[in-house]
Structure 1
């Protein structure tokens, strides 16, 4: 029993059996904050009934962006399908386990500031339109060596390149242990390999429903960091940790399933590209809204140092059936596997919020019956500025401030995130930008201190 366990298997009775069989002593009751940072309250396993009833309370005023101090009591309602024993906790026959939770108000209603609840609302809107959402995220990360105090250095753990094996790829053993740990927690792993940059890696897991995919992404980041630390390494999901090297992305594959027809809503074998009208409308919705939600899918000052020409990052707003230089592409698989891949999100994004805005933007295109622009099959990275302008290919926002301005100018962000998360998110990110804006960087001192 583990992440993405079916609801039939994830009964309280079955969970209690696992707790007894695995001698689980502690339960970590987890949730995420607005930035997607994992938090948890730990209780003893003999409190499982109390936990399952959603009676574990915490102080919401202690979580940035959650609750004011005069309305601070919040409750954690576990999703039983996310129960998992933690493989690294097994010691002397005892172990620990966890649940991922949604956050509730004292009256039992959904707390508006919970990112998991934001995504659940988007999933419900899709269901009301007759669709279920499937998402398969691909999260890249770097492995860095640590110093004598355990703090990360800028030295990568290996010097290998794309798809290189050992002996150049010293990360194989780390990835193998990550794979084994994820598998024990219920993941289906599809591929594992060294990425383009030195010290950069990717482990791909099977797609899931939108909420399940966000749970998987959250768990994946936690497991990767935990396992890396056991090897004396630091795993970083920072979008651009090394200047002059490729950054890390979270390519997001998304498809809609027509509930009534019981088929992939993006597939049409009669079309030249075997894409349905709904698929084209979904693509058009992403393109029409992308500038207004990129502050959510690319949330850091550092995110926009990845989205620049020259490092295979998708910084141009265009789509293609196969061209990887486009922001949106359609992987070759057709039939039930037909999907749209948006390539700009990065792994620092809160997956619940990122998947919510991506899905909402695409659904907006279907609702408004938008027409997708002309496909760009040529290599966009090789185009000159004048050619880009002539073909009407625009850039994504160039920094976090511009992205936040666009988020405020559009409607998709506020409608999807809701007033609470939208307002708190903007305040948090404006503060982050202001802190960066007034900082004096090493680049400035190196270039100006002696010159002027």
Structure 2
């Protein structure tokens, strides 16, 4: 961990002129202000005392009659911004949010994840997570309609795949930001891409997801194109997910690994999956939080619809990759990149721990293609389906005490208010599909 003195020296060496202080609102949308890099005492005060701002103007924070909040930069999040011109000399810190009384603000998504992680840290545990956010590179046609940038498919190469130059530039810049990129490739749908980065501590990873999305949008914009993390931007093709590989560690020991068991999974891993499955309907509201998310979560497009787990089985909600030992992990497949990673990671950890604490049995693994089952066969095997709409998901969230307790009263209430408003806005719209189908009635 850098001391404040070391950071100031580093900033002097890099000739920093502006410090960007960043946090996210309840929906995971980045917010920031820029502070001139003045004398060393001013910067030291910024770290110690923070910067006051109007919290009533940020979604999910506070009301106008009690609007003052303070952002304090986390010294461990220092980063240059490779997509900015070198002469701009900008660095960035991610901030934690406090009240003017110097207490952690209960509506800060990052603070909520830190609170959950502290509970397990006090028991000597850590929660590692490795997300796989997919995205589309898009263009616009002459009429202004959004279209995929290419017609390539899974693992295609040039000339069908028009993304290698994008991905090469993205990987180089992401590595400058400290990412350990494991792989990059074209995904199944036209224009769809994936860059996978190495799993790490959940807080560092949540910070990385926000930076990742921001960096990719900025870099591609500089190249004259657009990127979207919308879960289902185009009809008739696969949508974009953010599968989350996760495991619990105690020191260097992976608590999900048990080499003596037939599956290589420990009892804790099974119970953790039991918690994920039991709470998956309510969890959907947090990990797939938009109206559009549920247009991805439909059968037929490799999306995880069925609440089951399987070893290597991609038709189940939870897949267990083949790696064992320290690489043993659970892949939860319903999250998409529109989610707020701080809230999503908190919710998944809380329901997984509920599974361990209450010894929730996930049942037998599904070692068959669930997509091929009839409704009667699904019912016979006890396999349920995820919510089909945001409306169903947030109603499940309303009844779930484990997730609400994990997120806290403030965030749970503000989150639900946001989802009510989103659904009400959506349900009164009239779309072209409806006009074509019903205009002649």
Return closer, same or farther for 1:445/1:292 CA change in 2, 3 Å cut-off: same
TM-score by length of 2: 0.97
Structure 1: how far apart are the matches of 2:154 and 2:216? 19
- Please list, as runs of the form range in 1=range in 2, the aligned pairs for 1:65-84 lying within 5 A after superposition: 65-84=60-79
1:152 Cα offset (Å): 7.5
Structure 2: how far apart are the matches of 1:331 and 1:14? 41
Which residue pairs with 1:405 in the alignment?
Answer: 395
Return closer, same or farther for 1:443/1:54 CA change in 2, 3 Å cut-off: farther
Residue by residue, what CA displacement relative to the aligned partner does 1:280-324 show, whole Å, maximum 9, x if unpaired? 111111111111221000000000010000000000000012111
- Please list, as runs of the form range in 1=range in 2, the aligned pairs for 1:357-396 lying within 5 A after superposition: 357-396=347-386
Alignment equivalent of 2:168, drawn from 173, 176, 193: 176
Check conservation: 2:150, 2:191, Cα contact below 8 A.
yes
RMSD: 1.4
Which residue pairs with 1:166 in the alignment?
Answer: 158
Check conservation: 2:141, 2:147, Cα contact below 8 A.
no
**Is residue 2:133 matched to residue 1:139?**
yes
Structure 2: how far apart are the matches of 1:115 and 1:146? 34
Check conservation: 2:184, 2:195, Cα contact below 8 A.
yes
Q: Secondary structure at the match of 1:89?
A: coil
Alignment equivalent of 2:108, drawn from 114, 120, 127: 114
Q: Secondary structure at the match of 2:75?
A: strand
Alignment equivalent of 2:289, drawn from 295, 299, 310: 299
Which residue pairs with 1:417 in the alignment?
Answer: 407
Structure 1: how far apart are the matches of 2:204 and 2:189? 29
Q: Secondary structure at the match of 1:13?
A: helix
Alignment equivalent of 1:258, drawn from 250, 254, 258: 250
Check conservation: 1:319, 1:375, Cα contact below 8 A.
yes
Alignment equivalent of 1:343, drawn from 322, 333, 337: 333
Structure 1 unmatched runs, 5+: 1-6
Structure 2 unmatched runs, 5+: none
Structure 1: how far apart are the matches of 2:73 and 2:308? 40
Which residue pairs with 1:3 in the alignment?
Answer: none
Structure 2: how far apart are the matches of 1:90 and 1:240? 33
Residue by residue, what CA displacement relative to the aligned partner does 1:268-289 show, whole Å, maximum 9, x if unpaired? 1100011111111111111111
Deviates more, 1:275-284 or 1:39-48: 39-48
**Is residue 2:34 matched to residue 1:34?**
no
Q: Secondary structure at the match of 1:53?
A: helix
Which residue pairs with 1:60 in the alignment?
Answer: 55
1:401 Cα offset (Å): 0.4
**Is residue 2:198 matched to residue 1:206?**
yes
Check conservation: 2:257, 2:266, Cα contact below 8 A.
yes
Q: Secondary structure at the match of 1:203?
A: strand
**Is residue 2:217 matched to residue 1:222?**
no
- Please list, as runs of the form range in 1=range in 2, the aligned pairs for 1:262-301 lying within 5 A after superposition: 262-301=252-291
**Number of residue pairs aligned between Structure 1 and Structure 2:** 438
1:147 Cα offset (Å): 6.9
Check conservation: 1:292, 1:410, Cα contact below 8 A.
yes
Q: Secondary structure at the match of 2:77?
A: strand
Which residue pairs with 1:308 in the alignment?
Answer: 298
Structure 1: how far apart are the matches of 2:303 and 2:407? 26
Check conservation: 1:292, 1:412, Cα contact below 8 A.
no
Which residue pairs with 1:328 in the alignment?
Answer: 318
TM-score by length of 1: 0.94
Residue by residue, what CA displacement relative to the aligned partner does 1:77-121 show, whole Å, maximum 9, x if unpaired? 1111111011122334x4111000110111111001110011111
Check conservation: 1:146, 1:233, Cα contact below 8 A.
no
Structure 1: how far apart are the matches of 2:70 and 2:145? 38
**Is residue 2:181 matched to residue 1:189?**
yes
Which residue pairs with 2:17 in the alignment?
Answer: 25
Return closer, same or farther for 1:147/1:225 CA change in 2, 3 Å cut-off: farther
Structure 2: how far apart are the matches of 1:308 and 1:371? 26
